[in-house]
Amino acid sequence: MSVLPALACALAAVPAAAQKAVADGYLCCNLRVNGGWASDLNDPRSGGRVLPLGSKVVGLTYGTAQVDVEIDGAKVSLGNDYSRNLPMEQFAARWIVARDPTPEMRGWSSKMQQAVKGGRLMRGMERRQVLMAVGWPTLRNTPNIEDPVWSYPAANGYTYKVVFDEHWRVKAIDASEETKALVMMP
pLDDT at position 157, please? 75
Rank 11-15, 18-22, 53-57 by mean pLDDT and report only the highest: 53-57
Residues 126, 128, 129, 134, CA torsion sign: positive
Q: pLDDT above 70 covers what percent of the chain? A: 88
On whether the CB atoms of residues 114 and 41 are closer than 8 A, the answer is no
The helix or strand, by DSSP H or E, that contains position 170, with its residue range, turns out to be: strand 170-174
Q: If you average pLDDT over every residue of the chain, what do you get? A: 89
Phi/psi at 57 (5° precision) = -120, 130
**For the segment 58-86, what is each residue's pLDDT rounded down to a tens digit?**
999 999 999 999 998 999 999 999 999 99
Closest among 103, 102, 83 to 93, alpha carbons compared: 83
Q: Is the pLDDT of residue 120 over 80?
A: yes
For residue 12, what pLDDT band results from cuts at 50, 70 and 90?
very low
The helix or strand, by DSSP H or E, that contains position 3, with its residue range, turns out to be: helix 3-13
Q: Is the pLDDT of residue 1 over 80?
A: no
Question: Averaged over 125-145, what is the pLDDT?
Answer: 96
Query: Terminal CA-to-CA distance of the chain, rounded, Å?
Result: 67
CATH tag, 102-183: 3.30.1450
Residues of each domain in the chain carrying CATH 3.30.1450: 102-183
Q: Which residues contact 99 (CB under 8 A, 6 or more apart)?
A: 25, 26
Q: Is the pLDDT of residue 28 over 90?
A: yes
